[in-house]
Amino acid sequence: MKKLLLSLAVILVLILTACSGDENGDKKEESQNSNDQKVTKQVDNDKTVAKVNGEELKGEEFNLIYQQFSSRLQGQDVSEKQLEKRAINQFVGQELVLQKAENAGMNPTKKEINEAFDKQYKSQFKDDKAFQKALEENNLTEKEIKSNIADQLAFSKYVEKNTEVSEPTEEEIQKAFEQIKKSSEKDVKLKDVKPMIVSTIKQQKQQEEIQKLFDQLRKDNDVEILL
């Protein structure tokens, strides 16, 4: 089973190719190399880092997830051990969700996959020739991308059905607004930043609910960490 965050890590490169163009290719490569140099945690690609209901999770995918967390938390006071814990927690959690989604019959239809494929990826390129060139340059195939999209959609379906995210309260919005005002040198108006605040709070709440779901699934299933 392909892994959701693996797809995001790899396909992000594909989207950046479409957005940046050839003239920015050298800069993009330099940026990627810089990020790679900051990542110190690596395990053998074939090493089994965890078992989830008998399914072996491998080091190759773990390393990509670890790299994502390392880049995202760059500049923060987070140790390698903490990054490792976050990465393996995400890896195990997404595997549990994908297993449960499959068992619950939440596999997306071919129509849903094709629509997401066209909207999220092919539409980012001026024509099919440019898209096929990007696939070749990044050693990807349409089959691989669609397989990853299927996981992404199944993951989202299961999470949506098994979590509930409440709307931000006025108190939460006001608190976030006060923080923005303190950190901004400009005169910020609530009406101008409220949509962004609401979106950010909802994303934070969703991540909290997903983490609760991960924790509950780990309690209810056979999980063995082998790092």
User: What are the tens digits of pLDDT across the range 81-120?
Assistant: 999 999 999 999 999 999 999 999 999 999 999 999 998 8
Beta bridge partners of 101: none
223's tokens: 């999980």
Q: Tokens 């930043």 appear where? A: 193
Please report, rounded to a whole number, the percentage of residues in the chain having pLDDT higher than 70.
82
9 residue type, one letter: A
In sign, the C-alpha dihedral spanning 155, 93, 212, 12 is negative
Most confident among 22-36, 68-82, 102-116 (mean pLDDT): 102-116
pTM for the whole structure: 0.80
What digits encode the pLDDT tens for the residues 140-193? 888 888 988 999 999 999 999 999 999 999 999 999 999 999 998 889 999 999
38 residue type, one letter: K
| Pairwise CA distance, residues 73 & 4, whole Å | 20
Question: Which carries the bigger pLDDT value, residue 106 or residue 73?
Answer: 106
The pLDDT of residue 203 is: 93
What's the pLDDT band for 71 if we cut at 50, 70, 90? confident
The pLDDT of residue 137 is: 85
123's tokens: 């539409």
| Pairwise CA distance, residues 77 & 199, whole Å | 26
